[in-house]
């Protein structure tokens, strides 16, 4: 169910009316409605993948409780590592199995040996990268005691599968979403109006700007060998507009839908093309992803290396530069893989 489809507009209208005008007196019933709506929204594409979503979310709920209920550090760590294996293993199987297998076959072929590759016809579930990252942030925050494991399973399931953010973000972490789920929400006309405006702006960005640019970009780069330099430059320029309007448009719709339902979802794009430098650009572009990678990949690696590398230099490289280089390299590799199972994402 696409955000820009008539089906979603009807779906959202039904949810909105039931949410505010039928079940508005009970927070629990409102949350149940949102959870069921999230499953309808996700299962609309392929209902079979609802079982995968349930498996991931229920597993992380149990892992969170297991971490918090254990007293000794070894048991906590074992349960936490089990949660990591479940999340990362599921993501690898569904998104990267054939990519890594093909890479292994190509690597072996360099030595002269030939392997008949076993390629599985695995369908990539929509939004799997997003809800796996949500789930990872939940158990990591519980393990590091930044968040208490929630005993109410409905609240956790909703935080890990909330329909405005499950397919394309923003990656609004459970640590920020759970308090909103558990707090009674009152209809605010100004917030709802603001949300509707943001939805319309997001739809405009996606349909009018991004899709219009895409038509010209596809035409130019499909026949790039016959195009002159100025046409290729125009195609590149239009592509930068297309990719921003596409991503930011979907994020604006998600944020707007959240406001309609009384939730504040984090901003994901902050006019990145008006940045003064590349550092500021990455602070403004896909904010939820870049901050997630910073907090759960870059900083933990940097802190871990800082504790272990005590010498001033290693192979004539200053330790602080080496730590930064390793941390940022691993972060960028994982960021590239997150965007897609292809060498082009790794290189870029």
pLDDT, average across residues 187-194: 95
User: In the chain, what are the domain boundaries?
Assistant: 6-182, 188-269, 272-348
3-60: pLDDT as tens digits = 999 999 999 999 999 999 999 999 999 999 999 999 999 999 888 899 999 999 999 9
81-90: pLDDT as tens digits = 999 999 999 9
Instruction: Pinpoint the alpha helices (H) of the chain.
Output: 6-21, 27-43, 50-69, 73-91, 97-109, 128-143, 153-159, 174-182, 189-203, 211-222, 229-260, 278-284, 287-293, 299-308, 319-339, 343-347
CA atoms within 13 A on the CB side of 218: 6
Q: Is 34 exposed, middle or buried (0-12, 13-18, 19+ CB in 10 A)?
A: buried
What pLDDT does residue 124 have? 77
CA angle 309, 310, 311 (to 5 degrees): 100
Which amino acids are annotated catalytic?
Answer: 339
The predicted model scores a pTM of 0.89
100-154: pLDDT as tens digits = 666 655 666 666 666 666 656 677 788 899 999 999 999 999 999 999 999 999 9
Q: Which helix H or strand E contains 241, and what residues bound it?
A: helix 229-260
């Amino acid at each position: 169910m696409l955000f820009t489809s008539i089906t979603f507009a009807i779906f959202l209208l039904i949810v909105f009316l039931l949410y505010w005008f039928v079940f508005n007196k009970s927070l629990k019933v409102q949350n149940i409605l949102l959870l069921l709506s999230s499953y309808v929204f996700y299962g609309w594409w392929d209902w079979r993948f609802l079982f995968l979503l349930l498996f991931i979310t229920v597993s992380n709920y149990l892992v969170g409780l297991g971490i918090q209920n254990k007293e000794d550090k070894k048991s906590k760590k074992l349960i936490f590592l089990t949660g990591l294996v479940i999340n990362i293993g599921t993501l690898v199987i569904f998104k990267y199995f054939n990519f890594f297998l093909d890479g292994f076959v190509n690597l072996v072929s360099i030595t002269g040996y030939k392997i008949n590759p076993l390629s599985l016809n695995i369908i990539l579930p929509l939004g799997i990268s997003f809800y796996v990252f949500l789930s990872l942030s939940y158990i990591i925050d519980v393990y590091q005691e930044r968040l208490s494991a929630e005993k109410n399973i409905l609240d956790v399931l909703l935080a890990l599968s909330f329909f405005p953010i499950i397919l394309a973000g923003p990656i609004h972490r459970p640590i920020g979403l759970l308090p909103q789920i558990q707090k009674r929400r009152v209809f605010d006309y100004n917030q709802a109006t603001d949300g509707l405006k943001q939805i319309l702006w997001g739809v405009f960005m996606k349909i009018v700007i991004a899709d219009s640019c895409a038509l010209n970009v596809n035409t130019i780069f499909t026949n790039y060998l016959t195009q002159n330099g100025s046409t290729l430059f125009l195609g590149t320029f239009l592509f930068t507009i297309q990719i921003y309007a596409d991503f930011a448009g979907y994020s604006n719709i998600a944020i707007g839908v959240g406001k309609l339902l009384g939730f504040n979802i984090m901003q994901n794009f902050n006019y990145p093309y008006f940045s003064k430098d590349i550092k500021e650009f990455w602070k403004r572009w896909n904010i939820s992803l870049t901050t997630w990678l910073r907090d759960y990949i870059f900083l933990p690696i940097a802190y871990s290396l800082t504790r272990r590398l005590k010498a001033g230099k290693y192979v004539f490289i200053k330790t602080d530069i080496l730590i930064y280089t390793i941390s940022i390299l691993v972060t960028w590799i994982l960021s590239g893989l997150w965007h897609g199972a292809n060498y082009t994402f790794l290189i870029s």
